[in-house]
Homo-oligomer: A and B are copies of this chain.
Amino acid sequence: MEKIDRRVLRTRALLRDALIALILERGYDELTIQDITNKADLRRATFYLHYRDKEELLLATLAESFNTLVREMESLIGSDALAGKTQLAAFLITFRHAEAQHRLYSVILNGQSGVVVAQHIREYLVRLLLGALHNTPPEQLALPAEVLAQYIAGAELALLTWWLNAGMPYSAQQMAEMTQRLILHGVADVLPLPKNTP
């Protein structure tokens, strides 16, 4: 653990806070580096001592917020990876996390941001899922692990994104339950479908 100059930490925190405040005010795309450093009360040149561009700052900011979720998730998975209760808990953690920072995340996931943060989040989820799937031998899987991971991550993120954009019309608990139900059993027992499935 290297020691970092307090001034550096302070500057980065100011930039992070300014970015979040401005994203909520005007959306990510509109912002210039000048805007951000103005809000943070720093010189524009100072920005370049820390980040190459707007995107790098955004990703660093997101990574910070995301680390909380990662830690919770990993301590949870430590117990027993694929049990039904654990799954529900994992979904619930995710929805609660997004709820707590919904103003930021709804802008980000929305794709208002030029940067595709959702992609990064999806990649993290996929890695997490592949790790969990790695414990079970591949011959027990009827489909490739990669496909399963992409499916689960994609479905969850789609529901999460919609939920935020729609103004969170259901509770995090309800969303977690619906998400688990759909990912586990699909739409077959939810829709009145003809039963000619291959």
A36 within 8 Å of B by Cβ?
no
User: Would you give the shortest CB distance from A87 to chain B, in whole angstroms?
Assistant: 9
Say which residue of B184, B191, B197 sits within 8 Å of A148 (CB atoms).
Answer: B191
Q: Which of A1-9, A67-75, A92-100, A152-160 contacts B (4 or more CB under 8 A)?
A: A152-160
Establish whether residues B183 and A187, one from each chain, have CB atoms under 8 Å apart when the complex forms: yes
Q: A152-171: which have CB < 8 Å to B?
A: 152-155, 157-159, 161-162, 166
A194 within 8 Å of B by Cβ?
yes
Establish whether residues A187 and B152, one from each chain, have CB atoms under 8 Å apart when the complex forms: yes
Establish whether residues B82 and A196, one from each chain, have CB atoms under 8 Å apart when the complex forms: no
The residue of chain B having its C-beta at the shortest distance from the C-beta of A147 within the complex is B178
Say which residue of B147, B185, B191 sits within 8 Å of A159 (CB atoms).
Answer: B147
List the 9 closest pairs (A to B, CB-CB), nearest first.
Answer: A154-B158, A111-B116, A186-B186, A114-B114, A150-B162, A155-B155, A84-B196, A142-B190, A185-B186
A-B contact pairs, 7 of them (CB 8 A): A111-B118, A122-B158, A141-B190, A142-B190, A155-B158, A180-B198, A184-B188
